[in-house]
Amino acid sequence: MTVPLIQFIDIMKSFGTDHVLKGVNLSIYKGEIIAIIGKSGTGKSVLLKHIIGLVQQDSGQILINGVPLHQLSVEEKISFQKELSYMFQDNALFDFMTIYDNIALPLVENSNFPKNQVKEKVFTRMKQLGLTGTEKKFPAQLSGGMRKRVALARALVTDPKIVLFDEPTTGLDPVRKKDVHSMIQEYQEKFEFTAVIVTHDIPQIFDLVQRIAMLDDGIIKFEGSKEDIFDSHSKILDTFVGGEDV
Amino acid sequence: MLVKLIEKVGSKIIKLLESIGRIVIFFWTGVMNIFIAPVQFAKIIDHTWFIGSKSIFVIILTGLFTGMVLGLQGYYSLLQFGSEAALGSAVSLTLIRELGPVFTAIMVTARAGSAMAAEIGVMRISEQIDALKTMHINPVRFLFTPRIIASIISFPLLTALFNVVGIIGGFISGSIMLGLNRYVYMDTVIKSIQMQDISGGFYKSFVFAVVVTTTCCYRGFYTHLYSGFGARGVSLSTTNAVVQSCIFIFIFDYIITFFLV
Ligand SMILES: Nc1ncnc2c1ncn2[C@@H]1O[C@H](COP(=O)(O)OP(=O)(O)OP(=O)(O)O)[C@@H](O)[C@H]1O
Ligand SMILES: [Mg+2]
């Protein structure tokens, strides 16, 4: 058995009296693309934020390569977090900066790349995502789908090893959706990165991912490969994937 | 009953201590990062332009009218004792010691401090501050440090401008409009100002820069903790930032004056 890259053990999280996560157990393996699906408001974003440290669990543990996160030394923690990249559901672009500066920011602030190299990297991402020509604009001047792609470009510009995508394709047209999916796939083949994708793109996402986890009612109701889904007789999963009300 | 009361008071005290701790850490992180390379030149220039250069017009306008009012009031008050010749001294010392630093700080709070709180507050509620964290960028260093440097540069310079324009304002109402001898006015201005008056005013504007910027940035930064979410949260933290900054200006003005005289 390989040790998971990231493992949630009995993670619980409440906001006041609102019990969002009620004991989540989930493993994420190195080099895989895993999708987290589930109804709106079940806590998928909250779960994802635990990995990057924006939300702290009330109880339970998060293991990184088998070691609890809180037992890592400061250096180990930093080096783990430097491999991470997070794409926010609401983009969280810097509205006072141009598109170019937004995408370049993680490179400019954290590395010593010379200016022309930064420029090359940023323009490559922009071209891949159909954003050429928008570099001097501000986020408020773009359409919702374009902003989403800017957020995607920003998350990928540092060539991270682990990327957490919170609904990367919501609000995009079918062609762009496919583009984004194939870009993620291409990336994985090239860099062997690990991707966690929170998504509502069922069934398109099945072509992209190796495994799927379903969050419902504060726990992971299902975790397994695509094949497992079709074999499983989980009623909740079937109805959810089938689009009926659970 | 008594237990409830103790509980309530206790939780209030704990909250207060938490806030104090938070503000100290916020301030300390921001100030320490002034000395950590690389210096954020572009951002410092940007904020200095916004806090400093863009305030020049407001400062000239308020400085001029403050000086003119001082000239007018001072002239008639001094006339009662037959000592209107001391007008230049009265106007310039009032401005340099008190009104210059205080009024400048209040005007800049209204113009730039409110903008700081609102801008950082919006960044908080739209997860932009969280985004900085995920990119391993220290948000306090990124947002607060350049602003406090820009304020420390801008406040004393704007105060000096306010003082000079105010003295000219006093000259306009005292000498040009009321007919006080021009040379007498200018002579008393120059003779009465001591270096310690100027440095005292300078200390004040330095402290106001630090206090105002810290209050406004802190309020914006912790919008979600103190004021709630959404547009209303931001507007509330902006209002609080401005009101509290002004209160702090008066309190610190008294404290510094107490130690200077
Ligand atoms: N900072 C917070 N404070 C209080 N409650 C929160 C906070 N963040 C999330 N919640 C609550 O946690 C629950 C789950 O939210 P979350 O954003 O994770 O849902 P989601 O599964 O991502 O939904 P969607 O598919 O619509 O994005 C919601 O009920 C929300 O109200
Ligand atoms: Mg979500």
Q: Is the pLDDT of residue A245 over 60?
A: no
Q: Is residue B26 part of a domain?
A: no
Q: Is residue B87 part of a domain?
A: yes
DSSP string, chain B: -HHHHHHHHHHHHHHHHHHHHHHHHHHHHHHHGGGSSSP-HHHHHHHHHHHTGGGHHHHHHHHHHHHHHHHHHHHHHHHHTT-GGGHHHHHHHHIIIIIHHHHHHHHHIIIIIHHHHHHHHHHHHTTHHHHHHHTT--HHHHHHHHHHHHHHHHHHHHHHHHHHHHHHHHHIIIIIIT---HHHHHHHHHHH--HHHHHHHHHHHHHHHHHHHHHHHHHHHTHHHHT-SHHHHHHHHHHHHHHHHHHHHHHHHHHHHHHH-
Residues shown for chain A: 246
Low-confidence ranges of chain B (pLDDT < 50): none
Q: Do B137 and A106 touch (CB under 8 A)?
A: yes
* Domain extent at residue B125: 45-260
Distance (Å, whole) CA B258 – CA B261? 6
Pick the residue of B135, B138, B141, B234 with the most A CBs within 10 A to test the interface with A by mutation.
Answer: B135
Q: Calculate how close chain A gets to B91, using CA atoms only, in Å.
A: 42
pLDDT at A246: 44
Determine whether the shortest distance from the Cβ of A151 to ligand 1 is under 6 A. no
Q: List, for residues A114-167, the tens digit of each pLDDT value.
A: 888 999 999 998 988 888 889 899 999 998 888 988 999 999 898 899 999 999
Q: Do A54 and B133 touch (CB under 8 A)?
A: yes
* Residue A11 confidence class, pLDDT cut points 50, 70, 90: very high
pLDDT at B153: 96
Q: Is the pLDDT of residue A81 over 90?
A: no
Q: Calculate how close chain B gets to A231, using CA atoms only, in Å.
A: 38
Helix, strand or coil for residue A79?
helix
Helix, strand or coil for residue A52?
helix
Residues 79-108 of A with CB under 8 A from B: 81-82, 84-86, 88, 90, 92-96, 105-106
Q: Is residue B105 part of a domain?
A: yes
Contact A58, A42 (CB under 8 A): no
Q: Is residue B184 part of a domain?
A: yes
Count CA within 13 A, CB hemisphere, residue B194. Answer: 3
Q: Going by CA atoms, what residue is nearest to atom 3 of ligand 1?
A: A15
Q: Residue A165 corresponds to which tokens in the numbers above?
A: 């995508």
Q: Is the peptide bond before A203 cis (omega within 30 degrees of 0)?
A: yes
Pick the residue of A78, A90, A109 with the most B CBs within 10 A to test the interface with B by mutation.
Answer: A109
% of residues, chain A, pLDDT over 70: 93
Distance (Å, whole) CA B42 – CA B254? 36
Contact A177, A199 (CB under 8 A): no
Give the pTM.
Answer: 0.90
- For the segment A104-119, the average pLDDT, to the nearest whole number, is 87
pLDDT at A110: 80
Closest residue, chain A, to B128 (C-alpha): A92
Considering only CB atoms, A106 lies closest to which of B119, B128, B135, namely: B135
The region of weakest confidence among A35-44, A182-191, A228-237, B80-89 is A228-237
State in Å: Cα B234 to ligand 1 middle.
Answer: 21
Q: By C-alpha distance, which of B236, B25, B211 is closest to B109? A: B211
Q: Do A95 and B135 touch (CB under 8 A)?
A: no
Q: Do A93 and B128 touch (CB under 8 A)?
A: yes
State in Å: Cα A100 to ligand 1 middle.
Answer: 30
Dihedral angle sign, alpha carbons of residues B160, B165, B170, B175:
positive
Q: Do A54 and B135 touch (CB under 8 A)?
A: no
Q: Is the pLDDT of residue A173 over 90?
A: no
Strands A18-28 and A6-15: antiparallel
Q: Is residue B190 part of a domain?
A: yes
pLDDT at B219: 95
Identify all chain A residues contacting B133, using CB atoms and an 8 Å cutoff: 53-54
DSSP-derived letter for residue A57 is -
pLDDT at A228: 77
The interface pTM score, or ipTM, of the predicted complex is: 0.88
Beta bridge partners of B70: none
Q: Is residue B231 part of a domain?
A: yes
Determine whether the shortest distance from the Cβ of A214 to ligand 1 is under 6 A. no
Q: Domain map of chain A by residue range?
A: 93-159
pLDDT at A202: 82
Q: Going by CA atoms, what residue is nearest to atom 1 of ligand 1?
A: A15
Q: Going by CA atoms, what residue is nearest to atom 10 of ligand 1?
A: A15
Identify all chain A residues contacting B130, using CB atoms and an 8 Å cutoff: 54, 88, 92
Left if phi > 0, otherwise alpha if psi is -120 to 50, otherwise beta: which for A136? alpha
Q: Do A106 and B126 touch (CB under 8 A)?
A: no
Determine whether the shortest distance from the Cβ of A41 to ligand 1 is under 6 A. yes
A31 touches chain B (CB under 8 A): no
* Ligand that comes closest to the CA of residue A14: 1
Considering only CB atoms, B128 lies closest to which of A53, A85, A92, namely: A92
Q: Do B134 and A85 touch (CB under 8 A)?
A: yes
Q: Residue A178 corresponds to which tokens in the numbers above?
A: 């496919």
Count of structural domains, chain B = 1
Determine whether the shortest distance from the Cβ of A217 to ligand 1 is under 6 A. no
Q: Is the pLDDT of residue A242 over 70?
A: no
Contact A142, A150 (CB under 8 A): yes
Q: Is the pLDDT of residue A112 over 90?
A: no
Q: Do B137 and A105 touch (CB under 8 A)?
A: yes
Q: Which residue has the higher pLDDT, A190 or A1?
A: A190
